[in-house]
Amino acid sequence: MTSPSAAPSASEAPLSADGTARLSTALDLEHQAVYAYGVLGPYLSGSLRTSARTAEETHRTRRDKIEALLGDAAPTGAAGYALPQPVKDKASALALAALVEDGVTTAYRAALAATSGGNRKIVLDAMIDAANRAAAWRRAAGTTPGTVSFPGRPA
């Protein structure tokens, strides 16, 4: 997996309105990911729980980076989110983790075309990281195929 890149320099071109909107969507998905990992984590144990904690921390760090990039345009996170599926056991926790990462991947893929330079590198690194994590969660769940042909591409 890749690690988050450094923030773009002050000389980085400002984001377009489309770039701001798309990164705002990605930021919202980062908020949702942090929330989801807090819900699904207790259903996992051992190395899977450690992976969930690491994923949550990665999403927190990335959320903070995107908030800083967007500045005053950054949407605030909600107190809670409706999960796309209930979490009641290890299998449903793993399925939710993969679903969350797929959503994050899709949001960052959509932001690629609307960014450039250092901002695009941040977006690309985030997309690749989320796609890799989604595949890892699918493997942990025994889901086949474990990967998707074009991560982040809407179905």
Q: Distance between CA atoms of 10 and 54, rounded to whole angstroms?
A: 29
Strand extents, DSSP E, 33-136: none
Per-residue pLDDT, 155: 67
pLDDT tens sequence across 37-70: 999 999 999 999 999 999 999 999 999 999 999 9
Residues in Cβ contact with 148 at an 8 Å cutoff, skipping those fewer than 6 apart:
102, 131, 134, 135
Whether residue 4 has pLDDT greater than 50: no
Q: Distance between CA atoms of 72 and 82, rounded to whole angstroms?
A: 26
Per-position b or e across 97-120, b if 16+ CB within 10 A of its CB: bbbbbbbbbbbbbbbbebbbebbb
Per-residue pLDDT, 5: 44
Residue 105, classed as helix, strand or coil, is: helix
